[in-house]
Amino acid sequence: MKQTLLSLSKLSKQFDDRKVLDSLDLEIFDGEFITLLGPSGCGKTTLLRMMAGFEHPDEGSITLGSQDLTHTPPEARPLNTVFQNYALFPHMSVFDNVAYGLKMENRPKPEIQQRVEEALAMVQLEDFAKRKPHQLSGGQQQRVAIARAVVKRPKMLLLDEPLSALDYKLRRTMQVELKRLQRELGITFVFVTHDQEEALSMSDRIVVLKDGLIQQLGTPREVYERPANLFTARFVGETNFFPGRVDALNDDGTIIVDVFGLKRRFRKPDFSVVEGQPLHVLLRPEDIRVLAPGDDDGVAGKVVERNYKGSTLDSVIHLTDGTEVLASEFFDEDDPTFDYRLGEPVRVSWVDGWEWLLPEEPAVVAEEETVDG
Amino acid sequence: MGNTLQQPFRTAVLVLVWGWLLLLVFTPNLLVVGASVMTRDPSTFISLPMNLDAYRQLLNPLYLDVFLHSLYMAAMTTLICLVIGYPFAWSLSKVARKNRLLLIFLLIVPFWTNSLVRTYALKLILATNGLLNNALMAMGIIDEPMQMLYTEGAVIIGLVYLLLPFMILPLYTVFEDLREDFLRASHDLGAGRWSTFIHVIVPLTLPGVLAGVMLVLLPAMGLFFVPDVLGGSRNLLVGNVIKNQFLDARNWPFGAAASIMLTLAMAFLMFAHRLSKRRIGEDGV
Amino acid sequence: MSRWLPRTYLTLVYLLLYVPIAVLVVFSFNDSRTGYEWGGLSLRWYEALFNNRAMVQAMWNSLWLALSAATVSTLIGALTALALHRYRFRGKQVLNGMLFIVMMSPEIVLAISLLGLFLMVGLQLGYVSLLLAHVTFCLPFVVITVMARLSGFDERLPEAARDLGASDFTMTRTVLIPVIMPALLAGWLLGFTLSLDDVVVSTFVSGPSYEILPLRIYSMVRVGLKPEVNALGTLLLVFSLVMLMLSQWILLRSKR
């Protein structure tokens, strides 16, 4: 069922001594919503622009089905882009903007009229056809940009941080909207963002990029729950990194790890482990349990910050050895122990089986703290 | 807080500025309009009765020829400036930022240099035994000196030379503002280079073109010293006619009417410029 | 090709712009009398220039006119810019529009309208009429230069000064004037150069009592070639180059 639509192979690109893409391979499936996620300068935009044809790789190839696109100019590629600041032609009406691509194909007038109207109806802008872009709100401009790109019925839609200029609320609405459009049109969406929340909520698959290399490729769930390395774990969501040490290897596929003096039994990780090896135990804030000081489970600590977030209550807890722990708990009105005050002693534990283990990465660990905020 | 001082200060400034502009801009222009509908008078310059003789005289074939010839030379000047300036401004906008500042500086140096002196410098080059003729003869391209000075061509060359920066600077501004994204979007939607040029680049740079035309076309009809130095008596500008009517022939109504025609041309160009900026959603100034 | 073609083109146009100026400078040191052939290096035209009493007098007249016109127009222009920037008043758009029209309208239109005014009120054509005219055409350029500076600065600075107890007048003196100082200098230099360069307006509003340099040059170059003009042109070129560099330096330094 998953058929490759676009395949990128061994793409490399260098800008003045700086490697932006480093021999990158990626297969994009037909009909999927795939997100390129990473911090600025990670190469995600360059990668997108290469697909669109605005940049050319120093090495490697881009193929669409059986067609080699590597040297095809942008105007001849069956892909269309939604630009970061929309790039709507300011001298044309909304209608003319959307019709532009069809005019370039020399379509007959009635067909253009009909298809533009359809496209505008799809983004609920039928009544705005005669307006100029500067007479529209940011969200409306965004919709025009999408209509203009999809009216050509591209094989693939490339979206370059299209929501970054919108305010938070509008961004959420547009996320749902984009998702709906993608389902309805059945077109492959390649979405570039640096916002991990956006990536998690919209994508079928996420490509986490850093320094022109793919750090991880997987479903949002895989990326969030089973990060492939420390970078992904840090970049996607908030994480507590606890220092652990392998205490014993069991025959039943589990290992015993010493975390803050607690001996916990974990599933054996994918990487090889030996006795005495240090490793990272990753726990998301929502995996953390805050217990009463009298509890015999967990590690002793002190609440130093409490932030009411509506549906959750986030705390920062300092353990006795100074480690900072982020905890995010859902409200439970019936739990009397729930409401700890600042400075109150507590104990910190977690539900076994929700942790994730990663090996030490000496180069990276050296420059970062154990717990990342 | 400070109101005792604020009001007098504010009032003083506004009175000064308004006074100056009313006295030295508004009233004089009103006078010109008035003069244009009066009768010529050798001793008091103008006198009653009021009539439209001056405007009728504009249509006199003798002057109409001069005006049309002036318009033709101004139009040619503008066209040449546009043809040279458009690709020039485009290329300039693509130069690396650091070098660009120097290049723009080099462009405005001539603007700060006495224009009469620069016109005179052209005379050195274009004269019958001037540099260009000597160079062409030395290269064997021509056998005897060509008449270059005191021709229509010399006037146009002079005007282009003086006015080219005025075409380039507004064009450069629009090219600098032209976002690369618009061109990318156009290619992305299937347009080739030519289509993109016609449908996107030209309309988006149109305000700059019109501003440039305005800054070149009007002076190209008024800079009377250029024909005086380079053109001889047969290649006159509207400016020469106005000057002669005011300073020599003492026919003020006629000179005023001619100058009103120039002003109307300016108003028309300003209107077109404003319109073109509105179209792309910028406030016209 | 996409790289060298624009560069070649730019170079070519710059060459065309600068060849006449270069010719002028080179020929100002020419010893030949005809003005077309090279007769060896000489400073004789500079000498002739400074021995020409009328010419030297015109130079001083021009310099004095430019100095005073630049100063007056900077004063009024700066106040106008401040008023346009700070105050709401009726007719603000009209004022803006009038300044814009003065800047855009052909010089000759301004020239004849001022001539008409001066003759009507019976003003003797000379220094005063020249000054009034020059200030008028310099004014919009000063206003624009100062406005550009004002629009780029934090609206809250004057408010902060007022909040701390400064009167409007004191605030203008202690906060606004220092902020717009670079623009004032640049505007002054621009006005100075415009005044020194003007031929069109001066032709109409000057009288025999006060001869200025551009008009003197004008009468010299209308017929034939005058080698002294080469020397004079070179001096003017160097002078305006220094002025321009000064103003650019002031503007660039103030942006830091």
The CATH number of whichever domain residue B76 belongs to comes to 1.10.3720.10
H-helix or E-strand spanning residue B71:
helix B61-94
pLDDT-wise least confident of A154-163, A329-338, B131-140, C82-91: A329-338
pLDDT at A216: 93
For residue A278, pLDDT over 70 is answered with yes
Q: Is the pLDDT of residue A1 over 60?
A: no
For helices B3-21 and C92-104, what crossing angle results, to 10°? 40
Looking at residue B79, what is its pLDDT? 97
Q: H helices of chain B, where?
A: 3-21, 27-36, 53-58, 61-94, 97-112, 115-126, 131-138, 152-177, 180-188, 193-196, 202-222, 225-226, 238-243, 252-279
The pLDDT of residue A332 is 64
Q: Is the pLDDT of residue A369 over 60?
A: no
Average pLDDT, chain C: 84
At residue B52, the pLDDT reads 82
Q: Kindly state whether residue B46 falls inside one of the protein's structural domains.
A: no
According to DSSP, residue A164 is labeled T
Chain B residues in contact with C136 by the CB 8 A cut-off are 20, 24-25
- Across the interface, do C9 and B87 touch by the CB < 8 Å criterion? yes
Other CB atoms within 10 Å distance of the CB of residue B186: 25
- Locate B111 and state its tokens: 């603007």
Give me chain B's average pLDDT, please: 85
Residue with tokens 């400070």: B2
Residues of A near B (CB-CB distance < 8 A)?
52-54, 73-76, 79-81, 83-85, 87-91, 100-101, 104-105, 132-135, 148-149, 152
Tell me what the pLDDT averaged over chain A comes to. 87
Could you tell me the pTM of the whole model? 0.82
Q: Measure CB to CB from residue B181 to each of A85, A91, A133 and give the nearest one.
A: A85
The model's pLDDT over A57-97, given as tens digits with 9 standing for 90+, comes to: 999 999 998 899 999 999 999 999 999 888 899 889 999 99
A149-168: pLDDT as tens digits: 999 999 999 999 988 888 88
List, for residues B156-207, the tens digit of each pLDDT value.
999 999 999 999 999 998 998 888 899 999 999 999 899 999 999 999 999 8
Amino acid at C198: D
**A373: pLDDT strictly greater than 70:** no
Looking at residue B6, what is its pLDDT? 56
Contact criterion met (CB < 8 Å) for A104 and B195: yes
More confident residue, C133 or B149: C133
User: How many contacts, defined by CB atoms under 8 Å, are there between B and C?
Assistant: 244
In this structure, is residue B35 part of a structural domain? no
Contacts of B284 in chain A (CB under 8 A): none
**Is B237 within the bounds of a domain?**
yes
Residue of B nearest to A75 (CA): B190
Rounded Cα distance between C11 and B103, Å, is 10
Give this complex's ipTM: 0.84
Is-contact A97 A46, C-beta < 8 A? no
The angle subtended at Cα B44 by Cα B43 and Cα B50, nearest 5°, is: 120
CA distance A358 to chain B (A): 42
**Using CA atoms in the order C123, C129, C133, C138, what is the torsion angle rounded to 10 degrees?**
-140
| Interchain proximity A75–B182, CB inside 8 Å | no
Q: Is residue B102 part of a domain?
A: yes
At which residue do the structure tokens 């100056």 appear? Answer: B20
How close does chain A come to B223, measured CA to CA in Å?
35
Measured between beta carbons, which residues in chain A are less than 8 angstroms from residue B179? Answer: 85, 87
**How many separate domains does chain B show?**
1
pLDDT surpasses 70 at A42: yes
User: What is the band of A52 on the pLDDT scale with cuts at 50, 70, 90?
Assistant: very high
A168 to chain B, closest Cα gap in Å: 24
Q: Which residue is it, tokens 């000489």? A: C42
> How high is the pLDDT of residue C256?
53
Question: For chain C, which ranges sit under pLDDT 50?
Answer: 1
Which structural domain range is residue B162 located in? 57-283
- Taking CA–CA distances from A79, the nearest residue in chain B reads B188
The burial class, CB within 10 Å (0-12 / 13-18 / 19+), for B130 is buried
**A/B interface, count of CB pairs below 8 Å:** 74
Q: Which residues of A touch B195 (CB under 8 A)?
A: 104
Q: In what order do the strands lie in the sheet with A59-64?
A: A18-29, A4-15, A59-64, A67-68
Q: With contact defined as beta carbons under 8 Å apart, do A42 and A209 qualify?
A: yes
- The residue among A280, A234, A241, A240 whose CA lies nearest residue A257 is A280
Asked if A91's CB is within 8 angstroms of B187's CB, the reply is no
Identity of residue A291: L
Q: What is the pLDDT of residue A306?
A: 84
Confidence at residue A364, expressed as pLDDT on a 0 to 100 scale: 46
- Domain membership flag for residue B30: no
> In which band, very low, low, confident or very high, does the pLDDT at A342 lie, cut at 50, 70 and 90?
confident
pLDDT digits (tens, 9 = 90+) for A217-249: 999 999 998 898 889 998 888 888 888 888 888
Query: Looking at the predicted structure, is the pLDDT value of residue B21 above 80?
Result: yes
At residue A365 the predicted structure's pLDDT band, cuts being 50, 70 and 90, is very low
B200: DSSP letter: I
Kindly tell me whether chain C and chain B come into contact, counting contact as 3+ Cβ pairs under 8 Å. yes
In a domain, B24, yes or no: no
The answer to whether position B74 is within a domain reads: yes
Looking at residue B4, its pLDDT comes to: 44
- Of the pLDDT bands very low, low, confident and very high (cuts 50, 70, 90), residue B142 is confident
The answer to whether residue B32 is domain-embedded is: no
